[in-house]
Copies of this chain bind each other. A is one copy, B any other.
Amino acid sequence: MTSMKAIRRFKVQQPKSLVTIVEERLRKAIIDAEMRFGEALSEDALSSALGVSRTPVREALARLQLQGLVTIVPKKGTFVFAPTAEDVAELCTFRFMLETNALRECLATAREATLDGMASAIAAMDAAQASGTRHDYARADTGFHEVFFLHCGNRYLGNAYRSVSGRVAALRTHLSVPLEGEQARSMSEHRLMVEAFASGRLADLDGLLRQHILRARDAYGDVLRRASAG
């Protein structure tokens, strides 16, 4: 083994567990609207569809429940989450709180890195708007907001965001996609936020973020109310 001392970094990524694979697959399916709100998910059906046993499926579903993406009813079944208008309102309020705090930290301790991240995210959004699908745009939008938590320097803040980001992303693809004018307005709002951040105008940034998220909240609420009514 003496010759090994010369080798510094040679790690292999160990294979993901089946649980993780199933979790990510289902997460994607829910977020990308391959399944509808409230749809039933049978452990048995999923396990045979995915070619694994029920054990990892079950564990993955348990994790997804912790992320609020599915609801497990004892002895009855597992269902894709079905948000109510109040849910969405609380979710967006919470999201605003997290993001505004993360941005404050970013501005104080990682200004340049955050600006870079925002720039690439904006570029991705541009590309998606020009030639991608609506889901591509939604994904890029999600990426923009993740930048804050990547650079905020507080893992707990990031974890908290991750625990709701699935729902937020799902709402985006499930509900926002139909609204036509949304994309353009969203783009301009994001650009304004970058400008405010770049020039360090924290109060303006806060206002923009509040407006951005709360408007989304109202839009989602409307769609949901309309859906549950008709």
Min CB gap A228→B, angstroms: 19
Min CB gap A106→B, angstroms: 14
On chain B, the residues within 8 Å of A17 by CB distance are 74
- Chain A 122-163, CB-CB to B under 8 Å as 1, else 0, gives 000000000000000000000000000000011111011001
On chain B, the residues within 8 Å of A62 by CB distance are 59, 62-63
On chain B, the residues within 8 Å of A2 by CB distance are none
User: Is A189 located at the chain interface by the 8 A CB criterion?
Assistant: no
- Chain A 31-66, CB-CB to B under 8 Å as 1, else 0, gives 000000000000000000000000000110011001
- Chain A 63-89, CB-CB to B under 8 Å as 1, else 0, gives 100100000001000000000000000
CA–CA, A4 and B97, complex, Å? 47
Min CB gap A39→B, angstroms: 23
Asked whether A74 lies within 8 Å of B160 as measured between CB atoms, the reply is no
On chain B, the residues within 8 Å of A112 by CB distance are none
Min CB gap A220→B, angstroms: 15
User: Is A91 located at the chain interface by the 8 A CB criterion?
Assistant: yes
User: Is A3 located at the chain interface by the 8 A CB criterion?
Assistant: no
CA–CA, A94 and B59, complex, Å? 28
CA–CA, A157 and B163, complex, Å? 11
User: Is A90 located at the chain interface by the 8 A CB criterion?
Assistant: yes
CA–CA, A155 and B164, complex, Å? 12
CA–CA, A153 and B66, complex, Å? 20
On chain B, the residues within 8 Å of A14 by CB distance are 74
On chain B, the residues within 8 Å of A155 by CB distance are 90
CA–CA, A59 and B93, complex, Å? 31
Asked whether A157 lies within 8 Å of B63 as measured between CB atoms, the reply is no
11 contacts between A and B (CB under 8 A): A14-B74, A17-B74, A59-B62, A62-B62, A90-B155, A93-B154, A94-B154, A97-B101, A97-B157, A156-B164, A159-B163
Beyond the given A66-B66, A93-B154, please list 17 additional residue pairs across the A-B interface where CB-CB is below 8 A.
A17-B74, A58-B59, A59-B59, A59-B62, A63-B66, A90-B155, A90-B156, A90-B157, A93-B156, A94-B154, A94-B156, A94-B157, A97-B97, A97-B101, A97-B157, A159-B163, A160-B163
